[in-house]
Structure 1
């Protein structure tokens, strides 16, 4: 098997403009923290309202969850509608569907209005199963489609001739190239007075009539409104860490040996297998994703890619392995994203918890947030409001997730190891006993060893090594750190304590 490119396909074939870091204080009507799809579409909508916007991105535009998506534009968020009818009622479940269906229509309409070439392709989406226990779940989901007026049903066959016991189809869904879609929106924002700053990580917000985003550099961006579109809100006034749990999933892109017949597919059971096609370098490529798990948990990370490769080889044949990448998603306890005011009394807004379905949800978020900012009515605002809470079956699962967090916290404090006399392996992170303390060690090829205290700076859980991305990941709330301890993904704000860099040597307990 050839060595694949480890960056996402979308970024490999799309050259995005670059922007400077913010070095002096700026003012805007709306300051948006986060340069992913939610931040960019919100900025685009606010710009069309005639408002001056500033986007602050800690890294580079579209290099986070958006750049790592599989980019299905669909309201078929696996099996959700029967669950929503049970937990929030038929009217609210219908609103959830309509919000996402309207979001997909907005994307299509924008593509047509702006003349954007982004490989937009409409096709049906399918959830299928080979698990007898899931058959009833799919039947209930199909019944929910009828109740809610969704164009779809149980089907006896699918274009892709994979074995299945039951499948539910949703018609009129789509797929596209997210970066090709978003690049013209970025250009529109800049052309119409907006400002974008990269490598400008935010650290805090100073509340007030005109809230200010304080960067780690000490520079401020002041606005009448602040939108937090940073995947996990860095300003966690809503205690989102207690309402969300982080999951990781994996994607491979292949050039298949067999021709793919079209359609978008996902399994109802675990481990998830999701399949869709795209175009890369003028030829068809398949994106195969899944093998998800809670962040910091499960088998060695590289094995997840091998599982997807085995599946792809069996079903399609692999002429060439093109790309491999992974992504992190946040799952809310009731499966409905949190979108709206981060603080009831302030002009601070946030959007998080998209649970792997960010292409339509990002548009839902941008529409709600931009409407709230300009004081327009939005019929979906209450459904997605961050301050809601409903006692429903999802809470039972949430309590289980949070008890898992507690168990992880305790276990992490006790679980450190390193074999006597063994040299540290090169290019691999290891948990070691360093002077009586649990520490993380990463050894470079030149023999330099980075040592960090693995205690997450968010709430004290112990991080685990992610060998595929070469990061230290917190299994409790999803913070991720580089080999030297720098924060790569929140909610943590402070780096891991650096215990120093050492030359090549052997440790013993």
Structure 2
């Protein structure tokens, strides 16, 4: 199906997730009064919603508080694969943790997948869930052995899967492995129905309520941007990057961005989910958009703030889509960001031993099942029920191999960007900025960032990240300022989109800018 011709492909005028575009979402009020509840959950994505549901079913009084609108974060920008096949992970887990813990990881995610299927049937949720097989393939000679080792790990752990001779679609490959009976769905259609269940259970839901800090007293107290307070017996941080970080999570998590495009293939692909083993990643799954069979193609990931010209990543995916599937027109495109831990296992559990504050983060882009693993584990910890996965996912763990090496590498990377960002001399001047363009510039000898809207309005910010002082870079694909150190993201006006930063970038006043010389 390879194509060699050029095309007049057009990307959408405003990049948007298909999931968000196709979902009608009920709006909820913001927090306007102080509140006291048994459980306060910060974060209105799939983890927060699922945890709220489980705890409310146990009879606890729960409040769910989201800084923006429900589903607008990572959950609304996923590829929505409901699978335990998380890349070439199981042989690596066996090497680092042993067969028992590797098997626990698989079982935890399989149980999560089954829980999703059970709720879909029980609550009659129409979310396009499709059971299908998941494949990892390679076109690189050096990865053929890795695929074989992963197949051997499947056999050791009792995973239903094996090496295969050929994929179910016309895609070049030298070797491949299959994991049977996995699935994919429309995540927001699923969650809209789960939110309805929360309302039926009396869960209090608040949007546009930004948690800024927490006092770990007895009980813990959360402070919000508007001055309101929430007192809770238990607090769950399900906000992607932990909103409360007095344990230095920012140094044990590194953010990765990735990209997704959607378009109609020359020949519809209706079965299977596919991902390659090598870099750059190419993730493929079918999806129905406006009644037509299309493909979601994702990947081209990189560490946040370090991807160069972001629009080039979309172009790379578009080139792959055209060459392999004949996709000439891109109907939707979007990007997302997720956090990765040094040992590739999520942090799920108590913030520290005996704490009434719980955290769930570091899903490594496999959040559909890991979110349900987190909800089950945290719920069990709160109601004091035994859970076999407590030790495996404990946030306090820190294994010598691979955690220490990865920890050192990532923090050296942070230090490098902290220094080089301060030394960088921007090569653009304010007069060079065109409509729709953003770039780092120099203002009176100091680094600044400028963006000019299509209407010609200028927004000039101080590029120093308010988290730890690294210099943010312009993201041309999403029109945001991204921090290369810990992944904080800001709008072109400086407002916080993603943490760990809590305060906006400083907007420069006119009296700080010399327009005649800049």
Question: Per-residue displacement from partner, 1:327-349 (whole Å, max 9, x unpaired)?
Answer: 00101000000000113343111
In structure 2, the partner of 1:142 is 151
Question: Per-residue displacement from partner, 1:108-134 (whole Å, max 9, x unpaired)?
Answer: 111111111111111110110011111
Question: Per-residue displacement from partner, 1:425-453 (whole Å, max 9, x unpaired)?
Answer: 22221111111211111122343321211
RMSD: 1.7
Q: How much has 1:375 moved relative to structure 2?
A: 0.7
In structure 2, the partner of 1:470 is 479
Which residues in structure 2 correspond to 1:24-39 (within 5 Å)?
24-39=33-48
Moved more, 83-92 or 253-262: 253-262
Say if 1:296 and 1:466, in contact at 8 Å, map to a contact too.
yes
Q: How much has 1:420 moved relative to structure 2?
A: 6.0
In structure 2, the partner of 1:92 is 101
Separation (CA, whole Å) in 1 of partners of 2:380 and 2:429: 61
Separation (CA, whole Å) in 1 of partners of 2:139 and 2:20: 34
- Residues 1:384 and 2:393 aligned together: yes
Separation (CA, whole Å) in 2 of partners of 1:215 and 1:343: 23
Query: Gaps (5+ residues) in structure 2?
Result: 1-8
- Residues 1:105 and 2:114 aligned together: yes
In structure 2, the partner of 1:65 is 74
Please point out which of 2, 12, 24 is paired with 2:10: 2
Q: 1:435 to 1:54 in 2, by over 3 A?
A: same
- Residues 1:152 and 2:150 aligned together: no
Q: How much has 1:469 moved relative to structure 2?
A: 1.1
Q: How much has 1:226 moved relative to structure 2?
A: 0.7
What SS class does the counterpart of residue 400 from structure 2 fall into? coil
Q: How much has 1:239 moved relative to structure 2?
A: 1.1
What SS class does the counterpart of residue 32 from structure 1 fall into? strand
Question: Per-residue displacement from partner, 1:13-39 (whole Å, max 9, x unpaired)?
Answer: 110110011100122211100000000
Say if 1:449 and 1:504, in contact at 8 Å, map to a contact too.
no
> TM-score, normalised on structure 1?
0.97
Separation (CA, whole Å) in 1 of partners of 2:512 and 2:286: 47
Aligned length: 509
Say if 1:450 and 1:501, in contact at 8 Å, map to a contact too.
no
Question: Per-residue displacement from partner, 1:21-66 (whole Å, max 9, x unpaired)?
Answer: 1100122211100000000000011111111211111100000000
In structure 1, the partner of 2:446 is 437
What SS class does the counterpart of residue 499 from structure 1 fall into? coil
In structure 1, the partner of 2:209 is 200
Which residues in structure 2 correspond to 1:360-379 (within 5 Å)?
360-379=369-388
In structure 1, the partner of 2:506 is 497
Say if 2:214 and 2:221, in contact at 8 Å, map to a contact too.
yes
> TM-score, normalised on structure 2?
0.95
Q: How much has 1:299 moved relative to structure 2?
A: 2.8
Separation (CA, whole Å) in 2 of partners of 1:501 and 1:483: 17
Please point out which of 262, 266, 283 is paired with 1:274: 283
Query: Gaps (5+ residues) in structure 1?
Result: none
Separation (CA, whole Å) in 2 of partners of 1:309 and 1:507: 41
Question: Per-residue displacement from partner, 1:255-292 (whole Å, max 9, x unpaired)?
Answer: 22212151100010111000001111122121000000
Q: How much has 1:165 moved relative to structure 2?
A: 0.8
Q: How much has 1:397 moved relative to structure 2?
A: 3.6
Q: How much has 1:399 moved relative to structure 2?
A: 2.3
